Structures are given as C-alpha cells and as structure tokens.
Amino acid sequence: MSEQLVRLLIVDDHPFFRQGVSLFLDGVEWVEVVGDAANGKEALNILHYQPVDLVLMDLQMPQINGIETTRQILEQWPTVKVLVLTSFNTWDQVYQALQAGASGYLLKNAKPEQLLAAIRAVAAGGSYLGTHLARELLERVTRDPAEESQGLSPLTEREVDVLKLIGRGLGNKEIAGELFLSVKTVKTHIANIFTKLELSNRTQAAIYAIRHGMV
C-alpha cells in the first residue's frame, strides 16, 4: 500500500542546500517537492498559490526568519506542518521554534533516513525531535518543577490517554487505532486538552506529557 503523497516546500537561504535536499527527495515516491524559497517572504508568497502539506524550514534567513515565518504560516494556513531543518541547535532556538508552532526540529547533519522519518512523522500529524535534542529536552523538562504543580486534574481519563499517545509522537489515526476511537473523536479530545492545559500545538502537548512522566 503506497503512502499518502506529501507536498513539500523547502525554505533555506543556501541554494546549493535547497538543490541537494530537492534532489534527494525527488527519489522518494511519497514526497513531491512543489517549490523552494530563499527566505520567509518568498515562502509566504508561494503558499498563497501553491498547496503545501509540509514546509522544511531553515531558521536564519534574510527578510523574514524561520521562526517568524513559521508563526505566520500557521496563522494563515493552520493545516500546514512545519519541520525545522537547521544548523542551529541552541536550546533558545529550539524552544522558540516549538513555541511558534513547528512540529519537528532536525539538524542539517542528520542522516537521510532521519530526515525521511521526521517528514513522515510530522506529515502524519505527529512530532519529531532529533535524538540529542530529544535527550536534552527530556533532561530539561524533568528537572524543571514549574510544570509539575499544574497536574492533570482538568483532564478526563480518556483525554489523559490521548495525551500520553501524543507524547509518544503518534498521529491522530494512530491514536484512534490504539484507543478504538474515530479520528473525529480524537480531534475533539485534543482540542479539549489544548483548551484545558492552555497549549497551542501538539509539540507543546508532547512536552507537557514528558514533564508529567507520561512517556
């Protein structure tokens, strides 16, 4: 059974990098590179006329940087997924990208199979962090007591189950299969989780799950 096609936009200010990623992805049957942009302004212009499922987003770019571009994309096209692909791995940049709404964060020195795994996970509605970033995130959130006092009391038992699976990186269809629910019901539970815990995206929900020892 073939995978669902992912229409992908590459945003990076280095033309050789864009070309290299595009050539690599051209050999992947379930990915269609629909365009590339040298900065955030160009990316936003393309999105106005070109249907896109997922954006590979660099961070440091002229005109509009990747974090601000991510924020604007999700405000105007909330169904588009953003996967950050950058050379910068400082925690401040990771945190800002996730807060802006990015569903994944990967470094440019990642292996090709990691890039494909990240694209697949994010396109399916899940989240993805490179291995060492995930390890650092876990260390940070487990030693940060601020979130622990919030607890999970606002959530129903079923919402807790859904949050645990979000923390494991599962997409809506996978969660529905695990819990024997419809995808529509899963979406309703996720909307309730976001409202009750004051979260804005799945990555924040996954972080919340990790902080509370649910993963």
Residue 15, pLDDT score: 92
Residue 9: C-alpha distances to residues 90, 147, 175 (Å): 24, 35, 27
Residue 140, pLDDT score: 55
Residue 115, pLDDT score: 93
Q: Can you tell me whether residue 107 is helix, strand or coil?
A: strand
User: Looking at domain 6-139, does it have CATH number 3.40.50.2300?
Assistant: yes
Given a cut of 70, the residues of the chain with pLDDT beneath it are: 1-2, 131-153, 215
- The span from the CA of 213 to the CA of 148, in Å, is 10
| 31-52 as b/e: b if 16+ CB within 10 A | bebebbbbbbebbbebbeeeeb
- The span from the CA of 200 to the CA of 205, in Å, is 8
Place of tokens 């995130």: 137
CATH architecture assigned to 145-211? Orthogonal Bundle (1.10)
- The span from the CA of 37 to the CA of 182, in Å, is 37
Q: List all residues 6 or more positions away from 10 whose beta carbon is below 8 Å from its beta carbon.
A: 18, 21, 22, 33, 35, 36, 37, 56
- Overall pTM surpassing 0.85 (yes/no): no
Tens digit of each residue's pLDDT (9 = 90 or more) over 61-100: 888 899 999 999 999 999 999 999 988 777 777 778 888 8
What residue ranges do the domains of the chain occupy? 6-139, 145-211
Residue 149, pLDDT score: 43
Residue 26, pLDDT score: 92
